[in-house]
């Protein structure tokens, strides 16, 4: 089975721009979660999508949004980028039946905001 894939792997943007990141989960997985990882803050939960619906949301401003398509692929969008948005953005997929399941992470998208 192919693993979780994320595109692009690296991205450089300037303040005020917007960015869209993509995540393709493992085949058969219906849940996709997004995390922001920075050296000082660890893994911060952004949101989780299941069957095209946002099921959970972390404490991030409305500039961070996402969506999930019928094939379970998910996108995350960040508008009006700020310097502090520079981070590794990870997505993780799971079957989504319960919250006891293993999370399978993608390689991440490393975003640098200048």
Partner 1 sequence: GQQVMQIPQYQHVQEGEDFTTYCNSSTTLSNIQWYKQRPGGHPVFLIQLVKSGEVKKQKRLTFQFGEAKKNSSLHITATQTTDVGTYFCAGPGWTGNQFYFGTGTSLTVIP
Binding site residues, partner 1, CB under 8 A: 33, 35, 42-43, 45, 48, 55-56, 59, 90, 92, 98-100, 102-108
Closer to partner 1 by Cβ: residue 55 or 79: 55
Which is closer to partner 1, CB of 90 or CB of 113? 90
Interatomic CA distance for residues 88 and 23, integer angstroms: 13
**Is 73 or 79 the residue whose CB approaches partner 1 more closely?**
73
- Please say which residue, 79 or 107, places its beta carbon nearer to partner 1: 107
- Phi and psi, residue 32, nearest 5°: -130, 125
3-class SS of residue 72: coil
Q: Minimum Å distance from CB 43 to partner 1?
A: 4
Within 13 A of 15's CA, how many CA atoms are on the CB side?
4
Q: Coil, helix or strand for 40?
A: coil
Q: Which residues contact 93 (CB under 8 A, 6 or more apart)?
A: 4, 23, 25, 26, 29, 31, 32, 33, 72, 103, 104, 106
Q: Report in angstroms how near the CB of residue 55 gets to partner 1 at its nearest.
A: 8
Shortest separation between residue 46's beta carbon and partner 1, angstroms: 11
Q: How far is the CB of 59 from partner 1 (least distance, A)?
A: 8
């Amino acid at each position: 089975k192919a693993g979780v894939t994320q595109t692009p792997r690296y991205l450089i943007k300037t303040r005020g721009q917007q960015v869209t990141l993509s995540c393709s989960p493992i085949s058969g997985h219906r849940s996709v979660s997004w995390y922001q990882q920075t050296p000082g803050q660890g893994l911060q939960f952004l949101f989780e999508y299941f069957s095209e619906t946002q099921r959970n949301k972390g404490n991030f401003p409305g500039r961070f949004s996402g969506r999930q398509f019928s094939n379970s692929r998910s996108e995350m969008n960040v508008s009006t980028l700020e310097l502090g948005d520079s981070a590794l953005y990870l997505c993780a997929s799971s079957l989504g039946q319960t919250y006891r399941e293993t999370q399978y992470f993608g390689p991440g998208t490393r975003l640098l905001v200048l």
